[in-house]
Amino acid sequence: MADEVRLGLIGVGRIGKIHAEHCAQRVPGARLEGIADMVLSQEQESWAKGLGVRVLARDPQDMLQDPAIDGVVICSATDTHADLIIAAAAAGKHIFCEKPIDLSVPRVKAALAAVQKAGVTLQIGFNRRFDHNFTRIRERIQAGDLGTVQLIKITSRDPAPPSPAYVAGSGGIFMDMMIHDFDMARFQAGSEITQVYAAGAVLIDPEIGRAGDVDTAIVTLTFANGALGVIDNSRKAVYGYDQRLEVFGSKGMAIAENDLPNRVTLSTAGGVTGEKPLHFFLERYKEAYIGELVSFVEAVLHHTPAKVSGEDGLENMYAALAAGKSLKEKRPVFIDEVRAE
């Protein structure tokens, strides 16, 4: 494993397929050795062979027991993540796992304990930390260009709401959607969230309300270092995927605007028109999906800490749980209240 990480990928749904192609072709130092899924169509087998994959398995254990595989990329259903992490850790494999680790705190803790014990690398798929815009702001902060961070504002809106069925199983807007923004806020602040206050409303789809969730939310954050933050989420921005970030500090402010498909504006008698943002997460975070795997492979090769740890996954989850509690109890909630539960 001197200069190469041999990977097995588990679960070839939409995101699994993308990760597989990246591992095979776009990640220096990675080699895609195996793919496992409960069902593999003939088309999928042919696609996998085109990527140079050696092992095709129905059972992930086939890869976990393979000594010529160094790590796994877990892209299967959320409720399988914790068990797969535990099994992979037991087998001594490094682990890249899609978010969330699990919807249950005890199961997450069990998974992290297994990783800790095995001493393997675990990285969670909070891919936005690898976005070119957000990375650039973080660099500016670390370079001192913004001075002390005082305010973080995150706008995060989806182009269209998911189905009510999806919402029902998603853990709710805070666990399913805003968890990315909690991660971004912590990443930029370089500090943990200590308290949240959530305001929410059902303004888009009454079905979402009937499923016990909200579709619009504003959450105020307090950080351990004294900074404040605010995140707004909407399940439906008709103009497209709206992913903006603003960090305000004692020496300056940085804003990341949306990425656009092109830089053309049209001026007519009716006005000056530009493009809407890139459609959705697959388009917007295309390079970030590669970046997170590059980072994971580097961490494994150089024995450095993963840039998004299992503990990050747990902290993000606490923030989401606290936001849910705040919305329900109509009061600000300390993260420590949730930790203690």
Give the shortest CB-77-to-a second copy separation in angstroms: 29
Q: What distances in angstroms separate CA 271 from CA 119, 239, 258, 263, 266, one per listed residue?
A: 59, 17, 21, 16, 8
Q: Is 323 in the site for a second copy (CB under 8 A)?
A: no
Q: Is 37 in the site for a second copy (CB under 8 A)?
A: no
Contact between 243 and 156 (Cβ < 8 Å): yes
Q: Which stretch binds a second copy (CB under 8 A): 81-89, 167-175, 228-236, 317-325?
A: 228-236
Nearest C-alpha neighbor of 327 from the set 168, 174, 141: 174
Minimum CB distance to a second copy smaller for 127 or for 216: 216
Give the shortest CB-204-to-a second copy separation in angstroms: 7
Give the shortest CB-267-to-a second copy separation in angstroms: 4
**Sheet strands side by side (includes 94-97):** 55-57, 30-36, 5-10, 71-74, 94-97, 122-124
Q: Is 46 in the site for a second copy (CB under 8 A)?
A: no
Q: Is 43 in the site for a second copy (CB under 8 A)?
A: no
Residue 145: CB atoms within 10 Å: 14
Question: β-pairing, 30-36 with 55-57?
Answer: parallel
Minimum CB distance to a second copy smaller for 119 or for 271: 271
Nearest C-alpha neighbor of 91 from the set 108, 116, 111, 71: 71
Q: Is 137 in the site for a second copy (CB under 8 A)?
A: yes
Contacts for 185 with CB less than 8 Å, ≥ 6 apart? 152, 154, 193, 221, 223, 229, 231
Q: Is 286 in the site for a second copy (CB under 8 A)?
A: no
Minimum CB distance to a second copy smaller for 122 or for 146: 146
In the shown chain, the binding pattern of residues 163 to 202 toward a second copy, with x for contact by CB under 8 A and - for none, equals ----------------------------------x-xxx-
Instruction: Look up residue 184 and give its amino acid.
Output: M
Number of residues binding to a second copy, judged by CB under 8 A = 69
The CA-CA-CA angle for residues 187, 127, 186, to 5°, reads 15
Minimum CB distance to a second copy smaller for 104 or for 148: 148
The CA-CA-CA angle for residues 5, 6, 9, to 5°, reads 120
Site for a second copy in 235-274 (CB under 8 A): 236-240, 242, 248, 250-259, 261-274
Minimum CB distance to a second copy smaller for 80 or for 258: 258
Residue 273: CB atoms within 10 Å: 11
Out of 15, 18, 56, 151, name the contact with a second copy by CB under 8 A. 151
Q: Is 127 in the site for a second copy (CB under 8 A)?
A: no
In the shown chain, the binding pattern of residues 85 to 114 toward a second copy, with x for contact by CB under 8 A and - for none, equals ------------------------------
Minimum CB distance to a second copy smaller for 81 or for 186: 186
> How many Cα neighbours within 13 Å face the side chain of 152?
32
Nearest C-alpha neighbor of 215 from the set 230, 203, 207: 203
Minimum CB distance to a second copy smaller for 72 or for 196: 196
**Tokens in use for 254?**
């940085």
Q: Is 222 in the site for a second copy (CB under 8 A)?
A: yes
Q: Is 117 in the site for a second copy (CB under 8 A)?
A: no
- Classify residue 297 by burial, with Cβ atoms within 10 Å: 0-12, 13-18, 19+: buried
Contact between 237 and 158 (Cβ < 8 Å): yes
Minimum CB distance to a second copy smaller for 58 or for 328: 328
- In the complex, the residues that contact a second copy under the rule CB under 8 A are 25, 132-133, 135-137, 140, 145-146, 148, 150-151, 153, 155, 157, 197, 199-201, 203-204, 216-218, 220, 222, 226-230, 232, 234, 236-240, 242, 248, 250-259, 261-276, 330-332
